Structure 1
Amino acid sequence: MDSRKPVEFTLDLSADRSSVKDVVKGILHTIFFHRFFTPIYPSTHDVLDLTLPYVSEDDIESLIDTKTTSLVRALDTASTQQSPQYTSKAGRGTVVLQFLEKKRRKAGWFGVKGEEETVWETWIISVTLTSARGESEAARNRKVMERSLQKAAMKVVSLVNAERAHIPPITTNETNPFPYQILVNPRSF
């Protein structure tokens, strides 16, 4: 078992109820665009007033859509809870994207070999849900959303260009050498 701790990056996003799914999808696609090590056709997607990279792979699109829908449901559930124990979590959610490396497991006492997956990079995306009581608040919230999305996208670009030493070597001929998983509101983060 590898004793290295996976590299973690944290991104903060703000979004209103109507845009949260698009904003989170946009930043997840941006990360995948820079960390998906297979040939892809470059594509873009407009989110708010930003043009972001988009990975048009069916598996990734489906996974991102499923997980962002789960996040929206969790945010809706948290914001409708009346109990005081839920008020601190209302309007906040977390999406965690992990990239994994498949490693061969050495034979142990019983001679069992196999593969194990270890995390080598984690992206923690904290989402804060905003709401507005009027037109001026809605306009202000839109500017906050745009700034947070732009800042997060620029942070992704800057981190993926600067932080490359931890990327494991590609040791397989498989189409995608590094599996991935997306978690919504995991307990450990």
Structure 2
Amino acid sequence: MSNVKEFRLNELELWGVDQAREALLCVLHTILFCRAPGPFRPQTVHAKHFDLAYSRVGVTSVTRAVERAVTSLTSESLVPAGPELLKGAIVLSFFERRRSRSLFGLVSNEEKVVWEQWTTPVLVSTRPRDHLNPTDLERRRARYDADLLLRRTIADVHTLVNGPLDHVPSSMYEFEILPKDNAKLDLDKRDAAYARVMLNPPLHQLGAL
């Protein structure tokens, strides 16, 4: 972990778990889309709770991994942050598996080496909105603010992924997504949200997305 490149995105202030879930899906899929330049079929997703669309890798295993991780955070790992407020964070880690030999080469060990990590914090209001009129100024302002904040976060992601790439390996890598309190890579965790990604062509040939 000493050489890991860490990015912490701005906290997303959202209204309701459904909105938080979709915002996290948008952010995570955007990062994975930008970090997966190998052969895949891109998909465009139109958000239900935001006035925007985002791209994702058209691979079922990747989609399921992201959905499992986000569901785990929003249903189990959010903690109270104040009256009608919940908070939490999700961590996306990219890593590669390295084999090493010890005892004169007789024993082979495998370790996960994290080279990049993204943390996305959220603050979720649980205040009921059913009693608000759809044209209520507070409701419209909350929707506008959430849209603006998510757009800025996506813009930040694109800026960061197009920065220096010296830390990105040139071979196969994997990813794992966990709520922040559980964001530790574990070789024995078979149900972890991860998938393999092949670098083909190399990242430095992509240019800006």
- Same-fold call, TM > 0.5? yes
Are 1:15 and 2:17 matched, yes or no?
no
1:83-162 matched pairs, under 5 angstroms: 87=82, 90-108=85-103, 111-131=106-126, 134=132, 135-162=136-163
Residue 200 of structure 2 is matched in structure 1 by none
Residue 26 (structure 1) shift? 0.7
CA distance in 1, matches of 2:106, 2:27: 43
Residue in structure 2 matching 1:50, options 49, 52, 66: 52
Residue in structure 1 matching 2:181, options 170, 182, 186: 186
CA distance in 2, matches of 1:129, 1:108: 51
CA distance in 2, matches of 1:41, 1:178: 19
State the secondary structure of the residue aligned to 1:165. Answer: coil
Q: Percent identity?
A: 26
Residue 73 of structure 1 is matched in structure 2 by 75
Could you tell me whether the CA contact under 8 Å between 1:105 and 1:114 is conserved in 2? yes
Residue 153 (structure 1) shift? 0.6
Residue 124 (structure 1) shift? 0.2
Structure 1 pair 98–158 and aligned structure 2 pair: CA distance change class (3 A): same
Structure 2 portions without partners, runs of 5+: 185-209
CA distance in 1, matches of 2:22, 2:52: 11
CA distance in 2, matches of 1:163, 1:10: 16
Residue 34 of structure 2 is matched in structure 1 by 34
CA distance in 2, matches of 1:108, 1:8: 34
CA distance in 2, matches of 1:51, 1:102: 34
Structure 1 portions without partners, runs of 5+: 80-85, 171-176
Q: Mean Cα displacement is larger for which, 125-134 or 26-35?
A: 125-134
- Structure 1 length as normaliser, TM-score? 0.81
Q: Relative to total residues, which structure has the larger helix share, 1 or 2?
A: 1
Aligned residue pair count:
174
Q: CA RMSD in A?
A: 2.5
Could you tell me whether the CA contact under 8 Å between 1:131 and 1:138 is conserved in 2? no
- Structure 2 length as normaliser, TM-score? 0.74
Structure 1 pair 138–89 and aligned structure 2 pair: CA distance change class (3 A): closer
State the secondary structure of the residue aligned to 2:181. Answer: coil
Structure 1 pair 26–100 and aligned structure 2 pair: CA distance change class (3 A): same
